[in-house]
Each structure stands twice: as structure tokens, then as C-alpha cells.
Structure 1
Amino acid sequence: MKNRFTTLDLIAILPEIREKLCGNRVYQVYDIDNKTFLIRFSHPAHDKNVDEEHLKQMLILESGIRIHLTEYDWPKNSTPSGFTMKLRKHIRNKRLETIKQVGSDRVVDLQFGTAEYANHIIIELYSKGNIILTDKDYVILSLLRIHKDDKTNINIAVREKYPMNMNTYIAEESRMSRNRIQQILANSKEQNFKKLFNPHFLYGPNLLEHLLMKVKDITDTNRVKVTSDDIDWLECVFNQAESFVNEIRTTSSKG
């Protein structure tokens, strides 16, 4: 098991979760430890194509680390935490209606129920992480970690509204457009491709290295130097990255 999900991991795993769980009702919520929770789902009663072994699907949420389906019989705390009781109160017996990534960030929004009865669970998979329960309007009802974002001055706390628009905006700013590539080149004296672009590339260094090898037809990527004259092939690398990511967004990746 990976120590922490990357943005690319998240993009790859969500189609499978969406396919398996959307439309299913929450059967029960358990806590495994103080930041890991297990949601057990029941298949619709009319679904006769599901064998008895898979009547209940399970989703594991670990704050700051991961979200994925599981078949493992995780040991559960005998006494549920206060946060678990809140989750049970608000989402038990509700259907999972949607699950989506917020922009291109490592934030996932799960909606349970519809209209005025809807609730959201938001799991943050970056930094110290968080799991947040909100109402239909994203007003926070309960959460694992209360904090204040120093850069945006936004409180992440009960009765505050979760800043969905902020996350989307940050993700949009991270896209590697031609203009952004030119800005990165202009604002740095660094010429090594990896050192220059890895900190800015949302989907991780492995994908970037793979596409660099493909576009430049090389095997050694450590010594690749770039200048403003290379803008055309640089744009090609990042365009191929976006195409690759868009393809896996709609492909169910099992395992």
C-alpha cells in the first residue's frame, strides 16, 4: 500500500469507486483509528446480479493519505468516536449520489442524499489531511481537524462554509498552459528540466519523466536542459500529460 495518494492515483481510483458505489446506500460507518474510517455500503435490493459475497462494498477513508475500495476485514474500534457517530447520524441509509475530485486538487467530495437532505463528506489528501462533514450548502457540521489557512485567512471549523471555490481556483491555476510554461522559464535561472518543472507539475515526476522520454526519444532525462527556445516541445509534453490524465479519468482502474 502506498504511503500517500498522489493526484494521479486519485484520478485513477475514482472511476472504479463511482462505478461500484454510486446509487448504493450506507449500511454502517466504523472508525479504525483516529483518522481512518470505513463506510460499508449495501447493494440495491433489486440488484439480482450481485452474489452474496459482494452484497456489501466497503470504502476506506484515511485523512491525508488515501481513499479506496477494500475487501479486508479491518479491525474496528469497539466504541465509535464522536466523529463516527456524527457520520452515522447524517449519512447512514442515504445513497451515495456523487463522488468527484475538486478541480485537480487532492480533495474528494462525496455527496450522500439529495436536495435539502444532502450531506457531503470531504476528504483532503494533502498536508496534514482532514475529513469534513457538511450540510447541503457545504456548511461544516463536524471535522477531524480545525485549522486556519494562513495564506487565505479561511477558517476550517464547525459552522464555517467549506471553501470549494478556493480549491477549484488553485487547481485551475496549476494547469501547465503555454503562458505558464513561459512564466516559469522567465522567472528562474534553473535550466535543468526536472528541477525546473517537477515542483510545478501537478501529476507527479514519474509521469513527467515518462512523457519527456517519449517526446524527446531519450532514455536519460537527468541532464535535459531547457530554455525559452524549447517552448514548442515543452508545450507538447504538458499537452500530452493532460490528454493522458483526461483518458484515465474515465477508465475504471481496478486494483
Structure 2
Amino acid sequence: MREISNVEINTLAKELDDVLKGARLQKFYELGEGEFRLEFHAPGKGTLDLMVELKKRINLTRYVKPAPQTPTQFAMQIRKHLEGALAENTRQYGFDRVLVIEFNAQDGKKQLIIEMFSNGNMILLGEEGRIIACYRTEEWSDRVIKRGVKYIFPASTKIDPREVDENKLRSILNEKKLIACLAGRINLGTIYLEEVIARAKLAVDKQANKLNSDEITELLRAFSEICKAFEHPVPTAYFKDGKSFDYSILPISKYASLESKQFRSISELLDEFYAPNSTMEEPKADKQFAEEKRKLEFALKTQREAAENLRKKAEEAKQAGDKIYEHYSELEALLRFVYSARKSNKSWDEIEKVIKGKAEIDRTKGRIIVNI
């Protein structure tokens, strides 16, 4: 699976910020395992559908997949807090594979965090940065993703390619092949690192710490050149044997011999790259298998959520039963007193005076409420 890179998310964030700013979220759907659709309404633009497939893509789509009849628990949580909310800002966190959509909701500011690395995740934050809902509960040594805790953005240990200078570059060169060395220390996707090396006229398998001063200068020039090119993206899809092969936000040297097609935006490119019934889709058998797998995974997730809800209800019922058993003699005496008092025509006011501090009477529903 082609995972979206941080460079592409950087371009995408700028595109989406222009389009979504001022739009209201109308509906949120969970379509399958790690797959979501956010339906916005934008003044003067109408309905905008944002597709999210964790790790894979985020884009506005014209291929709207049908939503399941029953929303998942996660979808209901997002709807509860974000339906009708105004999208104010869309941005990338740092230069990482994290997209942040900031909302102004009726009960305050909210942030929807879309993590496109590791297993992928979607997290809703409240005003204080605490997690209201998350698609996956996860835990690492330096941060925890679960409801109620304060969200911590992932720490980036790699060098931002836009900040590479001679000192930083020399400090990371080691005995590994050049491509492996750069990929391990610089926050840039492999396809773009290979392009940097190609523009510097170097070999990807050259030993990194064997670069001479002239080669280091050329590598720095290539980094500067490609980072400037990122500011003027040319979203391009590549085809091999008539099928989709790869994509980028600028022309890639090693794909020069392949058929290619340029798009007006990275969002449009991704929509067509993953579009159904197009020359850019997966082979039919693979697609049918993937669709069946998606349906089964979605059904399994829904059943697990239902089972977890039943387990919680059963646990609550058991705890209530244990409490009743523990105080059985007291409860029995209380009920006998109330029954006897009512049979003797005593008023509820008289009864309440006697049981005050032990129980409360809900006259409208005919209930006796006991705190035990």
C-alpha cells in the first residue's frame, strides 16, 4: 500500500485550509476499518465530502461511498461533539504525517487530529487538549492515546529537510548506503530523497561517509532545490502497463520513462488515484477481495463494540446485585416499613420524615431511591 508522505500532507493541508475554512461539518461516517467520510457544507460551494483512509489518503472526493445504516460508537461520539461545528483552520503539525482540523463548536473549540503514521488514528480534542474520543487506544513510552488524557503530539527525531545545512548533514553521514543513511535521519519520504540524490548526480548506494566536499555541496544544493519545488507543487500520477503505479507532488526523475498525468491539486490526484472503475484502481480480483475484507472488518468491529457494551452493562448489573445482596436485610426492613405505613394510611410526608437520610421517594414515578 502506498502510504501518504509528510510532504504530500504539507501540500494537502494548504489546499484543504483554503477549501474548508468556514465550512460546517454536517455528518461524520465510519465506512470501514480506518475509513471515514466527513460531509461539510461550505457557503457558495455546497456539499464537500472529505475522505480519510488512515495511512493511505485524505482528500475531497466526488466518489461518495454509501454510509452504513447503523453508525459506530466512534462515529456517534464525533457527531455528538462536531455536528454543526465550523472548520476554522486546517494545518500540518510540524513536518510530520499529522493533519489537524480546528473547529469552532457550540460548546467551544475542538481539534480533530488525523495521524497517518504507524497504524493510523483519529483523535478528537477538547479546548484543554484532552482526548474526548479516539479511534484507537494506544500507548507508547512517551505518550498515551485514550479518552480523558491530555493529548501529546508525536515527537519528531528526524531533521526537517527544509533545515538541512552543512553541519547537520555532515553529522549524520555514516557507513551506510547514502539512501539508507538519509532515510534514517531526515524527515522526507524515500521517493523524494531518491530525487534529491538524483539531482545531486550521486548514486543511492554510495557509502554516505565517503562523500567528498564537492558531493556534499551538491547534495545541499539538491535539498534546497527540491524544498523550493515543494512550494510550487505539480501533483503527478504515474502509470505502468496501463495501471496506476505511484504519485508525487513534483516530477520524479526515475519515472521519466513512465506514462504520467498531472492534476490541479493533490486532493484531486488522490481522488482519481483511488477512484472506483478507473484505470488507476486495483485489479478487479484484488478490489473485490479488499471490499469483502473491508465489510467483514467493519462487521467485526461493530460486533466487538456491541459485545463490549454488553460486558459493561453486565458488570454494572452484577455490581448493583452485589450491593443489594450486601444490604438485603436493611432494604427488606425499609420496604416492609413503607408497605405497612401505606397500608395504615400514613401520608408520604409522614413516611419521608421517618426514612429521611436513608432513602428518597420519587412520587411521580412511584419509586424509592436508596443510596447504598
> Would you call these one fold, judging by a TM-score over 0.5?
yes
Listed as ranges, the matches of 1:229-248 within 5 Å are: 229-230=212-213, 231-248=216-233
Task: Please tell me the root mean square deviation across aligned C-alpha atoms, in Å.
Answer: 2.6
Separation of aligned partners in 1, 2:125 and 2:160: 26
Separation of aligned partners in 2, 1:172 and 1:92: 38
- Assess if the C-alpha contact under 8 Å between 2:196 and 2:226 holds in 1: yes
Separation of aligned partners in 2, 1:120 and 1:30: 17
2:29 matches 1:30: yes
Q: Which has the larger radius of gyration?
A: 2
- Assess if the C-alpha contact under 8 Å between 1:15 and 1:252 holds in 2: no
CA deviation profile, 1:92-116 (whole Å, cap 9, x unmatched): 1111111110001101111111796
Separation of aligned partners in 2, 1:67 and 1:184: 32
More displaced 10-residue stretch of structure 1: 140-149 or 61-70:
61-70
- Assess if the C-alpha contact under 8 Å between 1:208 and 1:241 holds in 2: no
Per the alignment, residue 202 of structure 1 pairs with 187
Per the alignment, residue 148 of structure 2 pairs with 159
Separation of aligned partners in 2, 1:215 and 1:193: 12
Separation of aligned partners in 2, 1:172 and 1:161: 26
1:215 partner letter: A
TM (normalized to structure 1)? 0.81
2:92 matches 1:92: no
Equivalent residues, number:
235
Separation of aligned partners in 2, 1:161 and 1:244: 37
- Assess if the C-alpha contact under 8 Å between 2:194 and 2:204 holds in 1: no
Listed as ranges, the matches of 1:57-72 within 5 Å are: 57-72=48-63
- Assess if the C-alpha contact under 8 Å between 2:121 and 2:136 holds in 1: yes
CA deviation profile, 1:104-143 (whole Å, cap 9, x unmatched): 1101111111796111110110011110011122210010
- Assess if the C-alpha contact under 8 Å between 1:26 and 1:42 holds in 2: yes
- Assess if the C-alpha contact under 8 Å between 1:42 and 1:57 holds in 2: yes
Extract unaligned runs of 5+ from structure 1.
none
How far the C-alpha of 1:10 sits from its partner, in A, is 1.3
Per the alignment, residue 98 of structure 2 pairs with 107
- Assess if the C-alpha contact under 8 Å between 1:123 and 1:130 holds in 2: yes
Q: Relative to total residues, which structure has the larger helix share, 1 or 2? A: 2
Per the alignment, residue 168 of structure 2 pairs with 180
The alpha-carbon distance between structure 1 residues 213 and 63, as it changes in their structure 2 partners (threshold 3 A), is closer
The alpha-carbon distance between structure 1 residues 252 and 18, as it changes in their structure 2 partners (threshold 3 A), is farther
Per the alignment, residue 73 of structure 2 pairs with 82
How far the C-alpha of 1:180 sits from its partner, in A, is 2.3
1:189 partner letter: E
Separation of aligned partners in 1, 2:31 and 2:105: 28
Separation of aligned partners in 2, 1:3 and 1:129: 14
* Identity across the alignment (%): 23
How far the C-alpha of 1:240 sits from its partner, in A, is 2.4
More displaced 10-residue stretch of structure 1: 234-243 or 70-79:
234-243
- Greater relative contact order (CA < 8 Å, ≥ 6 in sequence): 1
How far the C-alpha of 1:73 sits from its partner, in A, is 2.0
More displaced 10-residue stretch of structure 1: 231-240 or 68-77:
231-240
The alpha-carbon distance between structure 1 residues 223 and 156, as it changes in their structure 2 partners (threshold 3 A), is closer
CA deviation profile, 1:2-45 (whole Å, cap 9, x unmatched): 6321112212322222222111111111110142111101122x
Per the alignment, residue 140 of structure 2 pairs with 149
1:138 partner letter: G
